[in-house]
Each structure stands twice: as C-alpha cells, then as structure tokens.
Amino acid sequence: MVRLTHTVKSSGCAAKLPVATLNEVLSSIPLMEDDRLVVGFETSDDALAYDIGGGRLMIQSVDFFPPVADDPYDYGQIACANALSDLYAMGAEPACAMNMMCFPSCMELDVMKQILLGAQDKAAEAGCVIAGGHTIADSTIKFGLAVTGFTTKDRLWTNKGAKEGDVLVITKKLGAGIINTAIKAEMADEESAAAVLASMKTLNRRAFECASSLDVHAATDITGFSLLGHLHEMAAASGLTVVIDSSSVPVFDKALEYASFGLIPEGAYNNREYLESRVEISQSVRQNLEDVLYDPQTSGPLALAMEESEAEKFISAFGNDARIIARFTKREAKPVII
C-alpha cells in the first residue's frame, strides 16, 4: 500500500497557513455579532461557543490536514483525536461530528475506508458519534472533522482567563513535527516513530477529565502554531506575560537530535518568522530546543493555566508527561519570555 505521507508536501498541522498570512485576512473581515455568540475567533480560541439557553453552551470546531501517518487507519485516528482536542481545550464533552474528505479519484478506495474507520473508532472511544460528512475529488488526500460538543457557562475554558501568578501545565511531549519530518525522510528510528504515533493517537479526554473538577483559569491545545504560538495567544488575550522554563519542557526522545540535523518542518519556520519579535529567548537556550518550541504539533497536549496548588492536584491525578513549564506574570515588554 502507498505510504500516505509520501503523497503530500506537508503533513498534519504543519500544513497550516502561516499565522501572519491568516491574520492579515482575518483582520480585514468584520466580526459578525450575535448576542448568543459567547466566543468567536477574535481571541484565537480553539472553537466557537454559542449560548443555547439554560446555562448551556454549544462548542463547535473544524480541523483537517494532509496525512501525518503512512497507515490510513492511523491517519484517521489522529485526525479525529486532533479535531476533538479543540473541544476538550474549551472544557466541552464531544457529542457529534461530521467527516470532511478530499480524495484522489485514482487511489484505492480501501484507503478511504480505513481512514474513515480509524476516525470512527477514535470518536467512539471519545463517546462521540460521526454521522455523515462531505467528500470531494482532489489530487491529494486531506481529511478531518467538524466537531460539536457541549459545556456549561461556568465550566467554559478560554484563552483569556489566565491570572498573574498562575502556572501552566502541559500534558504531552513536544517535537512531533520534527520527528514526523524525520520519518518522512526515512531517518527516524522505530522507537521514536512509535512514540510520536502513539501520542498523536491519544485523546486529550483524560486530561480534560482530570482538570474538570479543578479551577482552570485558561486553556488551549498545542497544535500547528507551536508551543510558543499558542502560549503567545493565551498571554496576549489575558493581558499578561508567560515565562517559560525551557528546562522543564517535555520533549520526545531524538527530537533535539533530529532538529540538530536540520529536520525541521516548514511550519516551524513560519511560526518563528511571525513570533520572533514577540518572544524573548535567553541566549542560554540551545538552537535545537528553540526549534522544538517553534515546532508545529499535531494532536498535541492541552495547556492549562491554574494556581500552582491546583496544578499539583492535576499532575498527581494525571501523571505521565504532565508537568509545570511556565508561570504567568504581569505584562512585560514581550508576551512570551523563555
């Protein structure tokens, strides 16, 4: 069977448009107003929040991308986990979804079937139902989902609620984009490739559940705009500066080594170009670690801002790779300091 990642130029969330390009267009479009729209795109949140009455909110998002795994079933699972992560980052339970598929007319139909089955099985794991979708013929595969979930007004998480003194916890390792680039170049070892694949297929459901009983002030998930890009959005929306302890950032084994070899996805360069003027980086931070901090992630970790005592409760409950990597301070010259 064809290796899916070899049929496309860019993979996963690394295929996103550059932030500067996207912002140029979005900033020229007037916001649509509705009294029931609680959260739109003006604060770069992960999904929209719409008031459906009775204190309940409908949360909606959409995400799709070219193959980030060679196996179509794995690709479907990752695409679904990535899309559902936007709901978890808003404090919402997934409920239903619809597929979006661009598919080459010359490719074996079993590839499409396996992608859809992978997404369906991952959605079922999340307690979410997929009911239909839309397909078009295209020269390259692209797949994702439009997802809907629900929460209540008092449990909604957004980008902008971080408070001075809060710490930031992330729940997965970083460097997936770099290792995926190494995989595509056939330079990644099997252990590293397997670790990244397992992480991308892992739902952020458990992280959401462990945090649901805690006082989370702000949240997002780390995807195509990198750790620095998404934390910049959170700090800017909250009117604060986030100070990152680079030594605390969890990184996949071999990601730093592969970064030193120059195995950097194009999206990382786009992220760096947009963010460099907004980020202050200590000279002690190594270049390859900088590359990881700018690296686009696919189905990456949740990032949760909360008081340190609440963060310690979360880490105790969640375990695994969760750790405190940053602290929010009063606004300084730049919104992100490393």
Asked if residue 31 lies in contact with residue 20, where contact means CB atoms within 8 angstroms, the answer is no
**Catalytic-role residue among 13, 80, 128, 210:** 13
Asked if residue 35 lies in contact with residue 61, where contact means CB atoms within 8 angstroms, the answer is no
Contacts of 43 (CB under 8 A, 6+ apart): 158, 159, 160, 233, 237
Q: Determine whether 13 is an active site residue.
A: yes
Residue in this structure with the two tokens 């795994």, named with its chain if needed: 69
Contacts of 276 (CB under 8 A, 6+ apart): none
Give the whole-angstrom CA distance, residue 4 versus residue 263. 19
Nearest to 83 by CA among 111, 117, 59: 59
Give the whole-angstrom CA distance, residue 43 versus residue 159. 7
Which pair of structure tokens corresponds to residue 235? 């700090």
Give the whole-angstrom CA distance, residue 278 versus residue 305. 20
Residues in the chain: 338
Query: Helices 72-88 and 190-201: crossing angle, nearest 10°?
Result: 50
- Burial status of residue 309 (CB atoms within 10 A of its CB: 0-12, 13-18, 19 or more): exposed
Q: How would you classify the pairing of strands 142-152 and 323-330?
A: unpaired
What value, to the nearest 5°, has the Cα angle with vertex 335 and ends 315 and 306? 25
Residue in this structure with the two tokens 């330079």, named with its chain if needed: 187
- Burial status of residue 104 (CB atoms within 10 A of its CB: 0-12, 13-18, 19 or more): middle
Q: How far is CA 28 from CA 136, 212, 237, 258, 277, in A?
A: 29, 36, 19, 39, 22
Active site residues: 13
